């Protein structure tokens, strides 16, 4: 078991510096353009693929880092570059995690390579869980999967929303209800292969921030997928549903469904994304405060500015420590007895919103214009308190863990 340390080893430092260089040299120069265009930055994704960042191998190496710090370190550096472009680069990872967590070895080997493509023909994947009436309340999911035993096919019908890469993905991972009587325990995840009839893109959302990341509805109309596209296989699903029915009869404890398990595992990574955005805004504000003069001296000479920067840096470092702790705990198998994963996501996301707002204030009128990146960073930061569990949901999870009570 890896001991907890705040010192990155030489290999980790090398990866961090490599990612930082890519973020500085490739992502940042393109950030404003793709934010304005509100389109997927395919050329940047292709560049990431060429150097090995956009690949399963890279994320696997970071995921299996025995200290647990590989993924949060990578997320922080990429999102320091730009949140929208970085999300386009890492968005496929959520679908890949869904397959890694629930799929068989054959499914993992078959589908994950198709999610990424290669440097000459990059592809993306989408994880489709949220619905118009089922965001935080996953038990209200309406998308249905019905098994056609004669053809060994599953038939999917429903509408998914807020899907990163939804509709443009080569591979979609769709969470659907297979037994409505079991609530969230009656869900299963399915692979929808490329060019499957019946799957289409619905509304593409024009967003406040992370505009370079494609977000859309996914419409499923009598989508038929082969039986082997059920993640984990039917035998495993039948066993899980049988256990859930027995627990329901006995009034037993609730169990997590596949979608919630995927989100829970990814929350510290989202916290790291928020840390990257906050750090970027802080650095812009610090440089500006050192060079901007008013009344004959740099504005950082004023306590009103200097104290803000002190608070900003303190919050960023505290957020990173919470993210690193949660990531280390997850890797070393330590249980989140106090919802440490949710703590890291909650504090880091709220920090990103606060720090980016303070950065605008320090830059004054300049911060309010698109000539400086902090207004974009502030718009981007708003998403961290919303996706993969709102701040209110994180507080609910934490409160339940601390109290042992079913707080609503």
- Of 108, 127, 124, which is closest to residue 116 (Cα–Cα)? 124
- Is position 340 annotated as part of the catalytic site? no
Catalytic residue among 47, 350, 375, 388: 388
Question: Tokens for 84?
Answer: 């929208």
Q: Which CA distances in Å does 275 have to 82, 188, 305, 326?
A: 12, 32, 21, 14
| Alpha-helical runs (H) found in 10-161 | 10-22, 28-37, 42-51, 56-63, 70-81, 83-90, 92-102, 105-116
DSSP 369: S
The residue whose two tokens read 């899980």 is 240
DSSP 3: P
d(CA 25, CA 305): 30
Strands 153-164, 171-177: pairing kind: unpaired
DSSP 130: -
150 contacts 120 by C-beta, under 8 angstroms: no
DSSP 196: -
Question: Tokens for 315?
Answer: 């919050």
- Of 73, 58, 80, which is closest to residue 8 (Cα–Cα)? 73
Q: Which CA distances in Å does 80 have to 75, 234, 241, 376?
A: 8, 42, 43, 12
DSSP helix, strand, coil percent of the chain (3-state; round to 5): 60, 15, 25
DSSP code string of 138-187:
GGG---EEEEETTTTEEEEEEEEEEEETTTT-SEEEEEEES-GGGGGGGE
- Of 163, 178, 236, which is closest to residue 387 (Cα–Cα)? 163
d(CA 276, CA 83): 8
356 contacts 377 by C-beta, under 8 angstroms: yes
Question: Would you please indicate which residues are annotated as catalytic (active-site) residues?
Answer: 388
């Amino acid at each position: 078991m890896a001991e907890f340390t705040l010192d990155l080893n030489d290999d980790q430092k090398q990866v961090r510096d490599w990612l930082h260089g890519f973020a500085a040299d490739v992502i940042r120069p393109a950030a404003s353009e793709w934010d304005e265009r509100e389109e997927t930055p395919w050329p940047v994704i292709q560049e990431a693929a060429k150097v090995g960042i956009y690949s399963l191998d890279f994320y696997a190496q970071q995921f299996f880092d025995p200290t647990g710090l590989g993924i949060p370190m990578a997320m922080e550096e990429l999102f320091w570059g730009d949140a929208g472009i970085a999300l386009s680069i890492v968005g496929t990872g959520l679908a890949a995690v869904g397959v890694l967590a629930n799929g068989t070895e054959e499914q993992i080997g078959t589908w994950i390579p198709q999610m990424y493509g290669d440097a000459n023909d990059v592809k993306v994947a989408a994880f489709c869980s949220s619905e118009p009436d089922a965001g935080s309340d996953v038990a209200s999911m309406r998308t249905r999967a019905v098994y056609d035993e004669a053809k060994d096919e599953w038939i999917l019908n429903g509408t998914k929303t807020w899907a990163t890469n939804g509709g443009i993905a080569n591979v979609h991972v769709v969470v659907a209800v297979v037994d409505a009587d079991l609530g969230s325990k009656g869900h299963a995840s399915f692979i929808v292969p490329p060019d499957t009839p019946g799957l289409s893109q619905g509304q593409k959302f024009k967003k406040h921030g992370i505009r370079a990341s494609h977000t859309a509805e996914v419409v499923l109309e009598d989508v038929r997928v082969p039986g082997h596209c059920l993640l984990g296989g039917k035998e495993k699903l039948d066993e899980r549903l049988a256990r859930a029915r027995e627990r329901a009869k006995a009034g037993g404890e609730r169990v997590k469904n596949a979608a919630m398990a995927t989100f829970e595992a990814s929350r510290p990574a989202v916290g790291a994304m928020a840390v990257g955005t906050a750090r970027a805004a802080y650095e812009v504000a610090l440089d500006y405060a050192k060079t901007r003069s008013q009344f004959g001296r740099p504005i950082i000479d004023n306590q009103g500015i200097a104290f803000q920067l002190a608070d900003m840096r303190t919050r960023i470092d505290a957020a990173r420590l919470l993210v690193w702790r949660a990531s280390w705990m997850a890797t070393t198998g330590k249980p989140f007895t106090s919802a440490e994963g949710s703590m890291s996501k909650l504090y880091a996301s709220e920090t990103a919103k606060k720090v980016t707002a303070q950065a605008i204030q320090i830059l004054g009128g300049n911060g309010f214009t698109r000539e400086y990146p902090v207004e974009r960073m502030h718009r981007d930061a708003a998403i961290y308190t919303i996706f993969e569990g709102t701040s209110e949901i994180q507080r609910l999870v934490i409160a339940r863990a601390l109290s042992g009570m079913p707080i609503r």
